[in-house]
Amino acid sequence: MAAALLLQLSLATAQWPDFNKYPVYNKPNLGLVYSPKASAFTVYAPDAQEVQLLLYKEGAGENNIATHNLVKTEGGAFTLKVNGDLKGHFYTFRTRINDKWMEEVPDPYAKSVGINGKRAMVVDMKDTHPPGWENDKAPAFKNKTNAVIYELHVRDASIAASSGISKKGKYAGLTESNTKNAAGLSTGLDHLKELGVTHIHLLPVFDFNSIDETKPNSRYNWGYDPLNYNVPEGSYATNAADGITRIREFKQLVQTLHANGLRVVMDVVYNHTSVTEASNFNQLAPGYYYRQNKNGGFSNASACGNETASERPMMRKFILESMMYWVKEYHIDGFRVDLMGIHDIETMNLISKELHKIKPDILIYGEGWTAGASPLPDSLRALKANAYKLDRIAVFSDDLRDGIKGSVFEHADKGFASGKPGMEESVKFGITAACPHPQVDYSKVNYSKAPYARQPHHFISYCECHDNHVLWDKLALSAPAATGAERISMHKLSLSIVLTSQGISFLHAGTEFLRSKKGVENSFESPDSINAIDWNLKTKNKDVFDYVKALIAMRKAHPAFRMTKAADIAKHLIFVQQLPPGVIGYTLNGKAVKDKWQTISVYFNGTGKEQQVSLDSKYYMTAIVNNIFVTPVNVISSLTLAPYSCTVLYKE
């Protein structure tokens, strides 16, 4: 097999072997299996003539203390058992393929690494547990549509002086309690609890490539450039050189969030690696873990230089075992899958099946699209249009996102919430969680011309995330003539639609007090001056925070906003007919889903003018002019909708 592989200077013109004929290693012991008596190392390298293990005393420097040859075994793997206690040592592997020695790398299954992830570290995982870890338990969680997800970058959360957090930019910063901004309002952990969200979605916290961990403050990145998938990122730890510290501090973060009623979602990026030829995968099994285009080069649906081949057995095995590892070892409660549309449906459904066995209430969701063309046929991939084929996996809705605020690719484009005509059906598509509904005219939906969700838990309702402009900046670009007050109303209306729609709600950190990134569209490598959350905005925009907090509380209190069955949405969510253009209204049969509000009416006015609405009977008014009234203020039978507003009415 090795003779068939031609390693050339330019892999873009390589003649690859038939990867379908590669052997499969089915045992679960790839990587390191440690005990104080011996350490067993196993790597998959089907084309290798030789595989060596190199041992070091430190994570960097010229301090090689031993080199061992591994022995070829079944399924294309090489294995070695080294007697004695290697705890604290560092190690790499290198392969000889077609008479050429490849570069030293940690194996893909490495669970601990030294500085900058260049060498793996031998650790006893029991040494990484914080006190009480064996009793750590996520808060109770029943239906997936109960989730209100909050997307947060670890560094952004605490790095600003206004955070009042001492361990700035670190995992430990989010474990601090009683932190305040200049006006004494809660920040960090206490803010998350106060807001009332259920899941904290952390932007990548696996070991990524773009930050020099010896100088963690010299550069910023979101972290979508994977290096070592099964290890926490070191720049967020207080000591990146020590493989135990980064693990223990991330576990402490998970433990703290759980203890405070919050569940933890990891943002995972299995669709590509940060480097291609030099990656851990490629140095051990060249070409196998990646898809190739017709010319023999690496295909690039990720727009990052490569795309992984999830349909190949050993890549499928790696992704599955990696995600299972994070759930078992780190008690992770969910995954957001980056560019999920690159992965094949069979792999994603297998992952869902196995993860739900471990944690029945786990959340799995992802981007149902790619950043470029893939050689794997669309029909086989986890694209948005194939959401109905996915098992308990949700997809983000760009239909609703752009329906609310306008296209993310056209900066001047408005959406429903900023006054663009003709966006009603796109918003209704989102209100019904992309489930079949007899009152949605799919021919007028902006992107999808048919429903794609079998059930509401297949749908993520959102209007912004880390990508593209944050909502406040997008409104500034698309509605430059609007007054500050009008933009605030547009912002509130946008979040109102997200938090009253069926499906799973998703918020970007800081949107609850009008976070801005100073107009920067994709701030993945912008400095802290752009990305840091300014916690003093919570003081300046306290009314917006209070409103979003109350919307979340209303959603959590009323199951009519989070139905669990598509059939119930079709039957018990009825759109009001013959409303003025730019106005959407619907009623929810709360009684049918055991809501204490027997009937709920929701109206959105996406125009800059007041709109008159006649009601079929008398209601209590709950939210009007984008302000929450905790108790009914009056009983009404007709209604004036303020410009750019959400109104919620109910009958008990």
Q: Which two tokens stand for residue 90?
A: 């560092």
Question: What is the distance in angstroms between the CA of the first residue and the CA of the last residue of the chain?
Answer: 73
Q: Compute the C-alpha angle 613/617/619, nearest 5°.
A: 80
pLDDT in tens, 550-564: 999 999 999 999 999
Taking residues 401-418, report their average pLDDT. Answer: 98
Q: Are 41 and 82 in contact (CB under 8 A)?
A: yes
Q: Compute the C-alpha angle 485/489/490, nearest 5°.
A: 115
Taking residues 79-83, report their average pLDDT. Answer: 98
Confidence of residue 632 (pLDDT cuts 50, 70, 90): low
- What pLDDT score was predicted for residue 512? 98
- What pLDDT score was predicted for residue 631? 67
- State residue 202 phi and psi, 5-degree precision: -90, 125
- In this prediction the pTM is 0.96
β strands within 317-429, DSSP E:
334-337, 363-366, 394-396
Q: What is the mean pLDDT of the chain?
A: 96
d(CA 641, CA 587): 16
Q: Compute the C-alpha angle 84/87/92, nearest 5°.
A: 95
Q: Does residue 168 carry a pLDDT above 70?
A: yes
CA atoms within 13 A on the CB side of 403: 26
- What pLDDT score was predicted for residue 622? 85
Q: Are 257 and 174 in contact (CB under 8 A)?
A: yes
Residues 6+ apart with CB under 8 A from 485: none
Q: Does residue 3 carry a pLDDT above 70?
A: no
d(CA 452, CA 454): 7
What percentage of the chain reaches a pLDDT higher than 90? 93
d(CA 405, CA 475): 7
Residues 6+ apart with CB under 8 A from 268: 204, 206, 229, 322, 323, 326, 335, 336, 337, 338
Taking residues 221-249, report their average pLDDT. Answer: 98
- What pLDDT score was predicted for residue 8? 36
Taking residues 399-403, report their average pLDDT. Answer: 98
Give the DSSP H/E element, type plus range, for residue 354: helix 345-358
- What pLDDT score was predicted for residue 14? 53
In Å, what is the CA distance from 628 to each residue of 386, 528, 550?
A: 38, 34, 7
pLDDT in tens, 424-480: 999 999 999 999 999 999 999 999 999 999 999 999 999 999 999 999 999 999 999
Neighbours of 450 (CB within 10 A): 12
In Å, what is the CA distance from 160 to each residue of 181, 187, 229?
A: 10, 11, 28
- What pLDDT score was predicted for residue 610? 97
**Residues noted as catalytic:** 338, 367
Confidence of residue 221 (pLDDT cuts 50, 70, 90): very high
- What pLDDT score was predicted for residue 267? 98
Sign of the torsion formed by the C-alpha atoms of 430, 435, 441 and 442: positive
Q: Does residue 423 carry a pLDDT above 90?
A: yes
Confidence of residue 207 (pLDDT cuts 50, 70, 90): very high
Least confident of 5-14, 68-77, 536-545: 5-14
pLDDT in tens, 136-148: 999 999 999 999 9
DSSP string over 451-512: ---SSGGGEEE-S--SSS--HHHHHHHH-TTS-HHHHHHHHHHHHHHHHHSSSEEEEETTGG
Phi-psi region of 84 (alpha: psi -120 to 50; beta: other; left: phi over 0): left
- What pLDDT score was predicted for residue 634? 76
- What pLDDT score was predicted for residue 621? 85
Confidence of residue 652 (pLDDT cuts 50, 70, 90): confident
Burial 373-409 (b: 16+ CB within 10 A, else e): ebebeeebbbbbbbbebbebbbbbbbbbbbbbbbbbe
d(CA 601, CA 576): 9
Q: Does residue 10 carry a pLDDT above 60?
A: no
- What pLDDT score was predicted for residue 265? 98
pLDDT in tens, 576-614: 999 999 999 999 999 999 999 999 999 999 999 999 999
- What pLDDT score was predicted for residue 9? 31
In Å, what is the CA distance from 353 to each residue of 390, 431, 437, 580?
A: 10, 28, 28, 46
CA atoms within 13 A on the CB side of 584: 32
d(CA 421, CA 112): 54
DSSP bridge partners of 638: 614
Q: Which two tokens stand for residue 560?
A: 């009519």
In Å, what is the CA distance from 31 to each residue of 78, 87, 89, 317, 321?
A: 10, 15, 15, 13, 11
Give the DSSP H/E element, type plus range, for residue 111: none
Neighbours of 651 (CB within 10 A): 16
- What pLDDT score was predicted for residue 369? 97
d(CA 479, CA 418): 7
d(CA 162, CA 181): 5
Q: Which two tokens stand for residue 19?
A: 């990867």
Give the DSSP H/E element, type plus range, for residue 583: strand 583-589
d(CA 63, CA 54): 10
Greatest CA separation found in the chain?
Answer: 84
Select the more confidently predicted residue: 364 or 636.
Answer: 364
Q: Which two tokens stand for residue 70?
A: 């591994």
